[in-house]
Amino acid sequence: MTSINDQPLSRRRVLQLGAVGAVTVAAGSVPGVGRAMRQPAALSRLTAPKRGGTLKFARSVAPTQLDPANSIIAGDVYTLDKIFEPLFVTSPAGKLTPWLASGYTLSKDRKTYTFDLRPGVKFSNGKALTPADVAFSIDRARKNSKGPLSFLDGAITAVEAKGSNQVAVHVSAPWAPLLSDISVFANGILPANYGGASEADFLKNPIGTGPFALSGFSPGAPVLKLARNQHYWRSGKPYLDAVEFHYVDDDNQRILQLQGGQVHLADSVPPAQVGSLKGVSNLSVDLFPAWQVDLLVLNEQVAQFADRHVRRAITYALDRKALVSAASFGTAKPGGSFFPPSLQYYSAKTTVLGPSLAKAKAELAKSKYAGGFKTSVLIDGGVQKWRTFAQAIQQQLKPLNIDVTIRALDHAAFEAAFQKYDYDMFIDYAINDISDPDEMASFELDYQKGGSKSYWSSYNNPAVTKLVRQAQAEFDTTKRAKLYAQIQELVAQDAPFVPLDYPPYIYGVSKQVNGFAVNPGGAYRLEDVWLG
């Protein structure tokens, strides 16, 4: 078995090897993320790590429960991944990296992946990780009909524990994204049969192999506490004794807590505050490249947005450069394709509709709603950037006689509303959590199997769905690139949602914090973080 720790092969090379019969390969890497960003201060300050202390982190989203298989419903996946770990993870550099697996073998027919488990891994209660734990966890995730990310395991037909350190994952057909799918947080590993407890009791105080263990949590409480896992398999880590997540929905309040020294880190820094924070001597603002797109989603269950001409008219009418200028203060780029430029198989040739008011009016004239109509845009009221976007959209659609009301809710109510289709339009972000673009393509475009009825838009184009499924089964990277280029072009023409911009992840960081990094999927592992 080739160790994946040493010299990881590129993803392209992995797929080439996989096409040639039974081979033993190492984990692949994805292409480098897009535009360069400055080295985050939390990394550049590194000297000798110091052990101890409690990291206090102001987060915008709180978990409602702690089941990794229900990770999207949980609200906050970035708490769960401190407790549970999958076989692979995505590194801060965007590379698919071995974690609880040390390597794998792909069968000649490319329908069985056999993983070698890393020796010496223990759960936070001190019990050793076994193949039975892995098989139980992945099987549970793939069979979880309520889990929005269970579609990523849709190709898996069986998971088999083999001997003392191997797990075989069988798929129904050759499946190119499998390694990336395995890395998603929904496939985090927990003890087989919940360690002898009931499922409900286990999830009140879950046990995983991650760098931290739960030490205090109550749904709805403003603080969640994690303690250092004394049995963590990465020797000497984590450096921190504890982590406290302080959940603060309002952007301004998180920044005030950071400036006041109540917390060391704050996520989702509003672009409008980046400039002022850079002038604070004990803080830095770190920007991390992202596989993220901010979207205006159009509900095709609403009669106006079921009309393709209306959707195209709105897309033509929106000046995305102006939107980004107003909302991102130079931190983001205007949207084009629904794939971000940093993501594998992004096509720069994708047509961008607009901005053109003349073409917008011409499209609307072809619809049943040529005279305009009243509608609304739903936003998370705690996110200032969404308010700015919504206000600009409201103004830019007025020339079409489309009267837009802004509907702002708190985060929990906002998510509940759009997931019940209780909206006309809504603004939110889409993130590709894994190194393969199939997640974004499936989740946003495969109405039947994508887990969200096309990001709750109800968009359903059989030609697009067919291409998405062809790309899943295609191991040749050149052919996959062509398929994804076709997908991006068809979606651009149909306009089920408007890609508004490509933002980075923006964090406010105390200069006490060292080693903090965010991967392009938005996840950050804290075992390397220490307080100076």
Span 72-111, pLDDT tens digits:
554 568 888 999 999 999 999 999 999 999 999 999 999 9
Evaluate whether 62 touches 508 at the Cβ level (below 8 Å).
no
Predicted pLDDT at 43 = 59
Average pLDDT over residues 241-251: 94
List domains and CATH numbers for the chain: 11-30+85-194 (3.90.76.10), 41-60+211-288+505-532 (3.40.190.10), 292-502 (3.10.105.10)
For residue 193, how many other CB atoms are within 10 A of its CB? 14
Q: Could you tell me which residue, 418 or 19, shows the higher pLDDT?
A: 418
Residue 525 has pLDDT above 50, yes or no: yes
Half-sphere exposure of residue 89: CA atoms within 13 angstroms, side-chain side: 21
pLDDT-derived band at 65 (thresholds 50, 70, 90) equals confident
Residue 1 has pLDDT above 70, yes or no: no
Torsion of CA 427, 433, 437, 439, to 10 degrees: -80
What are the angstrom distances between the C-alpha of 312 and each of 82, 304, 387, 463, 510?
42, 11, 23, 18, 44
Average pLDDT over residues 168-195: 96
Residue 24 has pLDDT above 60, yes or no: no
Residue 357 has pLDDT above 50, yes or no: yes
Evaluate whether 89 touches 214 at the Cβ level (below 8 Å).
no
Average pLDDT over residues 156-180: 96
Residue 6 has pLDDT above 90, yes or no: no
Positive or negative, the CA dihedral 168, 173, 179, 185 is negative
Predicted pLDDT at 418 = 96
Predicted pLDDT at 44 = 53
Residue 242 has pLDDT above 80, yes or no: yes
Predicted pLDDT at 36 = 34
Express each pLDDT in 399-423 by its tens digit: 999 999 999 999 889 999 999 999 9
Average pLDDT over residues 207-225: 91
Predicted pLDDT at 70 = 81
Q: Could you tell me which residue, 5 or 269, shows the higher pLDDT?
A: 269
Q: Is the pTM of this model over 0.85?
A: no
What percent of the chain clears pLDDT 90, i.e. is strictly above it?
80
Nearby residues of 373 by Cβ (< 8 Å), 6 or more positions away: 304, 401, 402, 403
- Nearest of 295, 238, 280 to residue 55 by alpha carbon: 238
Q: Could you tell me which residue, 135 or 33, shows the higher pLDDT?
A: 135
Predicted pLDDT at 159 = 97
Predicted pLDDT at 62 = 84
Instruction: Please state, rounded to an integer, the average pLDDT across all residues of the chain.
Output: 89
Please tell me the distance from the alpha carbon of residue 438 to that of residue 378, in angstroms, as a whole number.
Answer: 27
Residue 251 has pLDDT above 80, yes or no: yes
- According to DSSP, the β-strands at 265-266 and 54-59 are parallel
pLDDT-derived band at 47 (thresholds 50, 70, 90) equals confident
DSSP 100: S
Residue 514 has pLDDT above 50, yes or no: yes
Predicted pLDDT at 78 = 87
Average pLDDT over residues 106-129: 97
pLDDT-derived band at 8 (thresholds 50, 70, 90) equals very low
Please tell me the distance from the alpha carbon of residue 312 to that of residue 324, in angstroms, as a whole number.
Answer: 20
